Amino acid sequence: MTDDGKSLDRRGFLKRATGAAAAAVPAEMHAQDHGHDHQVVPSDPALRTKALESLLVEKGLVDPAALDAIVDTYENKIGPRNGARVVARAWVDSAYKERLCADGGPAIAELGYVGAQGEHMVVVENTPKLHNLVVCTLCSCYPWPVLGLPPVWYKSAPYRSRAVIDPRGVLREFGTELADDVEIRVWDSTAEIRYLVLPERPAGTDKMSEEELAALVTRDSMIGVAKVAAPRGGKP
């Protein structure tokens, strides 16, 4: 977030949510007309949360800078970069990968990534014949310590329902085409268990360092709606 007016801050966005949010979910899902209804306005809980936040700020009971700091922490520090480092370590260290797939929580904690919403982690590995996809059909359970805050589309009703009913179609909407002989497994996150996809390492990355590999890994690839793209020109 910036203070120069170039980017709308979180409260500014929420104040305009009823008008601006109509494009939020389609934009996240690549701005395509998918032929089904999207959840295009904030839910009642989101609006109530905003109203409560505004009241607390006006009464001087909450420091808006502190709220922004918390959001920034989860968006940029406790976020997808953490998960990317976990993936990269697994790609270069077979012993670590074995520990990660056997018991995700302790292995992730080895890299210092622990905290609320990540106490019980299960890591599922993609292979040439198996692709994993993560969803939370009940709400928006998500592994905050390794992926940060969930994207809008992950919390939307269409994704939560269609990921189970038509996972191949959902992947196609994200630009991920899988061969017919590739099995898709859908993992439903709960309040007790959160999932992290270990994507396939792309070809042409044998000489890359762990740091360079981490730069290739995206949030979407760790949810399972995308694959990790090979670097262009041999550089991440």
Show which residues are catalytic. Answer: 136, 139-141
Burial class (CB in 10 A: 0-12, 13-18, 19+), 126: buried
- 235 forms bridges with which residues in the sheet? 232
φ and ψ of 183, to 5 deg: -75, 140
| Cα distance from N-terminal residue to C-terminal residue, the chain | 25
Q: Which residue has the tokens 């399972």?
A: 224
Which tokens go with 235? 């550089």
CA distance 135 to 155: 9
Which tokens go with 159? 């994704």
- What residues contact residue 164 under an 8 Å CB cut-off, 6+ apart? 135, 137, 186, 188
Shortest CA distance to 79 belongs to which of 226, 188, 218?
218
